[in-house]
Amino acid sequence: MKNFIDNLFFNLIEEIKNKNIYDIYNHIVNQFKKIPFATQKSMENYFNKFNYWGKMNINEENFEIFYLKSLIFKENIDDYIWLYNRLSDYKSKYILYSILNNFYNFDFVNLKNCMEHIYKQYFDLDLMPKCEDESFVDVGTFTGDTVIDYIKSYGKDSFDKIYCYEISPENIKQIEKNLSSYENIIIKQKAVADKNCTLHFDLNSEPSANKISENGGIAVDAVSLDNDIYDKITMVKMDIEGAEMMALEGMKKHIKDDNPKLLIAVYHNNTDLFQIPRMIEKINSNYEFHLRYYGGCIYPTEICLICLPKK
């Protein structure tokens, strides 16, 4: 028998399934036009600034981002069902419903209800109440904020070592400054990818949004975690602006052999939400999946997939 969260999710799925892609698209555009114009313009500026999900030009009636959402709803709805059934707690299932209902109906209320207000980002104490002797790899360390949150959550004696991977020279300086009082912090100015190579990036006006690519103005050494860390890894956090799947591909051996806790951002691409858990399950089926939400109430970002080894 279904509960109210099951009903919310499957009623939404059934409505979407019964429409063709153009009906889905027109529905999303019409729902978007119902929200205040100031909010529409704010969303347009945000989408075009980061260019993760598609372009938008309200004046020209160009809603590429909504067409791409409609296409995924039509072609990948079974992937969303798979993920819902694979999630291990109803908070996660409610988060998934709220994200999809925001995409489809611009539902701000349920998304707001999902926002985490108690625990530090990535470190949900109901899922991970204790951490001890961790070998923690922070991929996309930015200024060291996540490492500091980890230590505040679990204590300065909770880790054996912490690896920090960051590509920006300015951010490296901040990491060194912010983490200078802690021992066993290993800082690497390297990108993390599927193989050892050279990648490039351009500095973004938003310092946390520097993206690696095969082109760009600044060269950076890239490594795979399988080739760069030979000791056991017990925890990995990744937030690298859409390069998460490539980095996961480069640590398949660690995922298979070490069963590390995986804390992965799954919002930088339109398909990350289901492709990343499917990828992890294919590498190692011994995981429970959870979602946690740390973004705002207008458009879902800061979605974290938490993968914990089955007990």
Neighbours of 219 (CB within 10 A): 10
Tell me the HSE value of 294 on the side-chain side, using a 13 A CA sphere. 20
Which residue in the block uniquely carries the two structure tokens 């002797």? 133
Burial class (CB in 10 A: 0-12, 13-18, 19+), 301: middle
**pLDDT-derived band at 170, boundaries 50, 70, 90:** very high
Report pLDDT for 214: 62
Which residue in the block uniquely carries the two structure tokens 């908070």? 91
pLDDT at 207 > cutoff 70: no
Read off the pLDDT of residues 72-82 as tens digits, 9 standing for 90 and up. 999 999 999 99
Instruction: Determine the topology of domain 134-265 in CATH.
Output: Rossmann fold (3.40.50)
Segment 234-247 shows an average pLDDT of 96
36/47 Cα distance (integer angstroms): 17
67/92 Cα distance (integer angstroms): 26
Beta carbons of 48 and 62 less than 8 angstroms apart: no
Beta carbons of 71 and 21 less than 8 angstroms apart: yes
Tell which residue, 109, 108, 110, has the closest CA to residue 96.
Answer: 110
Beta carbons of 124 and 101 less than 8 angstroms apart: no
Please give the C-alpha separations between residue 15 and each of 27, 82, 109, 133, 310, in angstroms, as whole numbers: 11, 17, 20, 48, 34
pLDDT at 217 > cutoff 90: no
| Structure-token pair, residue 216 | 């760009």
- Helix 90-105 × helix 4-17 angle, to 10°: 40
Give kind and range of the element (H or E) at residue 9: helix 4-17
Report pLDDT for 50: 87
Specify the domain boundaries for CATH 3.40.50.150 within the chain: 134-265
234/309 Cα distance (integer angstroms): 10
Q: Which residues pair with 135 in a beta bridge?
A: 161
Segment 37-59 shows an average pLDDT of 95
Report pLDDT for 213: 61
Beta carbons of 271 and 76 less than 8 angstroms apart: yes
Q: Give pTM, 2 decimals.
A: 0.95
288/309 Cα distance (integer angstroms): 6
Tell me the one-letter amino acid at 204. N
Read off the pLDDT of residues 268-299 as tens digits, 9 standing for 90 and up. 999 999 999 999 999 999 999 999 999 999 99
**pLDDT over 90 for what percent of the chain?**
90
Read off the pLDDT of residues 81-128 as tens digits, 9 standing for 90 and up. 999 999 999 999 999 999 999 999 999 999 999 999 999 999 999 999
Beta carbons of 220 and 199 less than 8 angstroms apart: yes
